Structure 1
Amino acid sequence: MAALGPRSKPLVPALCRAFADCGRQLTPECAAERRDAAPSRASRFCPPRQSCHDWIGPPDRQSNLRPVQFYVPEDESPLEQRLRELRQETQEWNQEFWANQNSTFMKEKEEFIHSRLKAKGLALRTESGQRATLNAEEMADFYKDFLSKNFQKHMYYNRDWYRRNFAITVFMGRVALHRAWKRLRSGRR
């Protein structure tokens, strides 16, 4: 493999720009959806029309999770459809949980900071106009309290998360066996 010399450096950014938009044309449905959709919590990410794979989009603003656009093959069997739907339901459930959790966390954090600053007799803004903050030890109290308050919720979330992933894994095994059986049957004829 040859290394790029100093003369090729200007070429690299040009090539990157040239290939950056390759294959990014939106399907007419996605393009119309982007134009017409009001700002919402759901990502409006759309993969290229000719794609035959699942695509992972940019992180969601509320949940910080990356949404997945699932590929739907034309010859999708009922078992494959059930697997895809189960994965979609799990993704939506996960996105919703973390969006709510992060929203609650930020709200309670702001309230905690405000109450501590007020107890100290400080304003939310410093004299220079910057936002007033608490030190790490004071914030550690908030984090500890928040985790303690939400322990049960996180325990139920983890239990459900493992159940859903186990069900998805079982369905994936069933789909793999179904595909192998279908391939064997078509090979005999």
Structure 2
Amino acid sequence: MAALRPGSKALRPPLGRSFSGGVGRLARGRGSERRDAACSPVSRFCPPRQSCHDWIGPPDKYSNLRPVHFHIPENESPLEQRLRELRQETQEWNQQFWANQNLAFNKEKEEFIHSRLQAKGLGLRTASGQRTTLDAEEMADFYKEFLSRNFQKHMCYNRDWYKRNFAITFFMGKVALERVWSKLSRKQKKTSS
């Protein structure tokens, strides 16, 4: 696993900020409990305690998506917390959808292969012990049927995915404005002092 490190102090676009770590440190007294909270049920990997970046884990064996361990900064504002929680919820929702979809796909694919082989009078294994397979044209029938049966589910998923991404982008913009506003406020206080 590798940490996503924020770039230089130059301004980054709000979308890039969602994939780079926050700017902050873990609270010293709460480091272990935050580290435990950051561990995902999908992956056993936990980022180091002193990490102050988001971490991307290895692909999940069911969903094939890479889980993100989100960094929780010590001085996280309520708006930043809301954004992080929305991102975490979206990631969990996405992981769950694709895990279920991939399990259903693999189950239906095995059933399809088994039924086609039985119709041909063949077994699952050849005489030499190798697994019997179907050719690409026969598998294309399965893929077409599977996509047709799941068309509505995929449409709903895509609609919800876009809604969630727009909400995340909106909150990222609000967080960016909040950060700029707080920096300007601090500069004004320093110059007026």
> By the TM > 0.5 criterion, same fold?
yes
Structure number with larger C-alpha Rg: 1
- Normalising TM by the smaller chain, what interval? 0.7 to 0.9
Q: Identify if the C-alpha distance between structure 1 residues 32 and 185 changes in structure 2 by more than 3 Å, giving closer, same or farther.
A: closer
Q: How far apart, CA to CA, are the structure 1 residues paired with 2:79 and 2:149?
A: 40
**Unaligned regions of 5+ residues in structure 2, if any?**
1-30
Q: How far apart, CA to CA, are the structure 2 residues paired with 1:109 and 1:52?
A: 43
Q: Report if aligned partners of 1:86, 1:168 keep a CA contact under 8 Å in 2.
A: yes
Q: Report if aligned partners of 1:56, 1:68 keep a CA contact under 8 Å in 2.
A: yes
Normalising by structure 1, report the TM-score.
Answer: 0.79
Shift of 1:45: 1.7
Q: Report the AA paired with residue 185 of structure 2.
A: R
Q: Report if aligned partners of 2:62, 2:98 keep a CA contact under 8 Å in 1.
A: yes
Runs of 4+ in 1 over 3 A off after TM superposition: 27-33
Q: How far apart, CA to CA, are the structure 2 residues paired with 1:32 and 1:94?
A: 22
Shift of 1:118: 0.2
Q: Report the AA paired with residue 93 of structure 1.
A: W
Indicate the structure whose relative CO is greater, using CA pairs within 8 Å and at least 6 residues apart.
2
Q: Report if aligned partners of 1:59, 1:65 keep a CA contact under 8 Å in 2.
A: yes
Q: Report if aligned partners of 1:41, 1:62 keep a CA contact under 8 Å in 2.
A: no
**How many pairs does the alignment contain?**
158
Q: How far apart, CA to CA, are the structure 1 residues paired with 2:133 and 2:34?
A: 43
Shift of 1:29: 6.1
Q: How far apart, CA to CA, are the structure 1 residues paired with 2:120 and 2:113?
A: 11
Q: Report if aligned partners of 1:43, 1:60 keep a CA contact under 8 Å in 2.
A: yes
Q: Percent identity?
A: 76
Q: Which has more helix, going by share of residues?
A: 1
Q: How far apart, CA to CA, are the structure 1 residues paired with 2:160 and 2:120?
A: 42
Q: Identify if the C-alpha distance between structure 1 residues 180 and 28 changes in structure 2 by more than 3 Å, giving closer, same or farther.
A: closer
Q: Report the AA paired with residue 61 of structure 2.
A: R
